[in-house]
Chain A
Amino acid sequence: MSGEAMIDQWYPVGLISQLLAKGRQTLLMGETIYVSCNAVGKAIVTTSDGRDLPVTERYGHVWSSLGLPAAPLFDIPEAEQPGRRLVDVGVVRVRCSPLRAVENFLDIAHFPFVHTDILGAEPHTEVENYKVEIREDADEVWATQVKFYQPQAARSASGGITTEYMYRVPAPTCSILYKTCPPRPSEWDVITLFVQPLTEELCDVWPWMALFDDETPMTDLIHFQQMIFLQDRSILENQIPRRLPLDPGMEIPTRADLTSVAYRRWLKRHAFTYGAQLVAQ
């Protein structure tokens, strides 16, 4: 299996709120696993041959690994802030590489065409320069000072605004977006994409959010995010090749794609290649 290095990562495998004693069968990197809970509701994840896998419960989700994660799951400090609404958006399955799913989440140039009149609209298609770095201490990809004009950026926005973003990749199939929070301009709304790799070309996407929004009903918050993700799904299922090319040549980035370029470089550096393809293959 390619992407051996990815085997020791944490991956989302279910919602804490939907844990059942009788369990649920799913796939993790090609292996069948079972997600259930014990008598006191604590999550248990096992393989078909009864092996217990590492488990952690955070950010509304159950996380597991086929290997041995070297560290606990990454931190999202904003998630602990009082007053935050924590939103389980609900899983969506997509026939694409888990890495393609993450890369799409990092991209903003598609907003006017795919999330038309919501996250972007013609003629406001320009992507201004922004900052990207691989933060060596945390070993994470970060994009900052990202800006984009949006007709309806969030449920809590009442018209067009220029939204500011930061993007963060703390793990190969997880991405965290920090965006302008209309009710509290000095804070960031946090929107995440936690991706479960079922196979190299099939994944379950578990979006999650930590927002400052006391007005909007929870269901509307869920639906807004589901709407955005579902608009991306038909794009993700029609990218060729399915696996993310990590070597230059097949695909041509521009300056608007700095985050994706850094993400691909970071994946390659770590040999995070489950769901990727290299020229040599």
Chain B
Amino acid sequence: MILYDYILSPGCYKARLMAALTGLELTLRAVDFHPGAEHRGPELLALNPAGSIPILVDGDLVLTESAAILVYISGKAAPAWLGNGQPATNARIQQWLSFSARLTASLGGARLHEMLHRPGDIVALRAAGVTALRELEAALFEQRLKNEAFLVTDRPTIADIACFPYVALAPDGGVSLDAYPSIRLWMRAVRSLEGFIEMPGIHRLHELKPDPHGLPSSSEAVEE
């Protein structure tokens, strides 16, 4: 299974993260998105006319759209991530997959503008991002009332992976997450999952490991 990948792409990261969480092996084929714009070059346009990444290739199957790739990876490697199969659960997962496109457009657009010089109306992008974050915060708060730590039920699903990256990287685009306590708790829950991997801009949770050094005893000066 080959993933056409860009290390800084949150969309590609969704696929990498899903694979890591489910133990699926992916072969990564690096795409020079920036500065080379390779995703818009002839080879990749032939594979995906939309000119976007990620692209997943598994034999004859070519998948674009990160949500579809999440469905495929989890379907193959760990179907529990697709929910319990009940109509309501399926629908709620679908709802969040659709919602995640708004995060990509708003928070992702703001991030590309602020970091990589992509054109855009930064004020409008951030406002749309805040609107989406408020909705996510409200939903996650209600999940907490039900003692559920994730978006749909008490265990993570692809809905969480679809929404997590652009939310976690909102500050890259100048959208602070300080105002969303439930979102921040949910992000910690995702980052604490067995097999979780980071992407640049999302740090390791060092609190998950104990301090390797004891407290120092010598009082010799450390200063310069």
Contacts and interface: CB of A to CB of B under 8 A. Distances in A.
Nearest to B37: A18
Given A113-B206, A234-B171, A234-B201, A227 B115 contact: no
Contact of A125 (B114, B116, B200, B213): B213
B65 interface: no
Nearest to B206: A113
Contact of A219 (B31, B114, B200): B31
A114 B204 CA distance: 8
Contact of A226 (B7, B31, B174, B222): B7
A99 B136 CA distance: 37
A93 B223 contact: no
A236 to B, nearest CB: 12
Given A93-B116, A234-B201, A253-B223, A18 B35 contact: yes
Most buried by A among B171, B174, B200, B223: B200
Nearest to B204: A116
B8 interface: yes
B212 A227 contact: no
B222 A233 contact: no
B30 A90 contact: no
A227 B8 contact: yes
Interface in A81-114: 88-95, 113-114
Chain A: interface residue count, which band? 35 or more
Interface stretch (A36-44, A70-78, A255-263): A255-263
A217 interface: yes
Interface string B15-57: 0000000000000001110111010000000000000000000
Contacts of A261: 224
Interface string A240-274: 00000000000011110110010000000000000
B93 to A, nearest CB: 30
Contacts of A94: 115
Interface in A190-235: 217-220, 222-224, 226-231, 233-234
A91 B200 CA distance: 15
Given A91-B35, A93-B114, A114-B203, A122 B223 contact: no
A146 to B, nearest CB: 15
A252 B223 contact: yes
Chain B: interface residue count, which band? 20 to 34
A170 B131 CA distance: 46
A143 B198 CA distance: 31
Contacts of A95: 114, 174
A217 B30 contact: yes
B30 A230 contact: no
Contacts of A18: 35
Interface in B100-129: 114-117
B172 A234 contact: yes
Tell me the dominant secondary structure on chain B's binding face.
loop
B117 A219 contact: no
B76 interface: no
A228 B224 CA distance: 27
Contacts of A255: 222-224
A153 interface: no
Contacts of B34: 90, 226
Contact of B35 (A90, A93, A217, A254): A90
Contacts of B114: 93, 95
A230 B201 contact: yes
A15 interface: yes
A15 B195 CA distance: 39
Contacts of A234: 171-172, 201, 203
25 contacts: A89-B35, A91-B35, A91-B116, A93-B114, A93-B116, A93-B117, A95-B174, A123-B212, A125-B213, A219-B30, A219-B38, A222-B36, A226-B200, A227-B7, A228-B200, A231-B200, A231-B201, A233-B115, A234-B171, A234-B201, A254-B223, A255-B222, A255-B224, A258-B224, A261-B224
Interface of B: 6-8, 30-32, 34-36, 38, 114-117, 171-172, 174, 198, 200-201, 203-204, 206, 209, 212-213, 222-224
Interface of A: 15, 17-18, 88-95, 113-114, 116-117, 122-123, 125, 217-220, 222-224, 226-231, 233-234, 237, 252-255, 257-258, 261
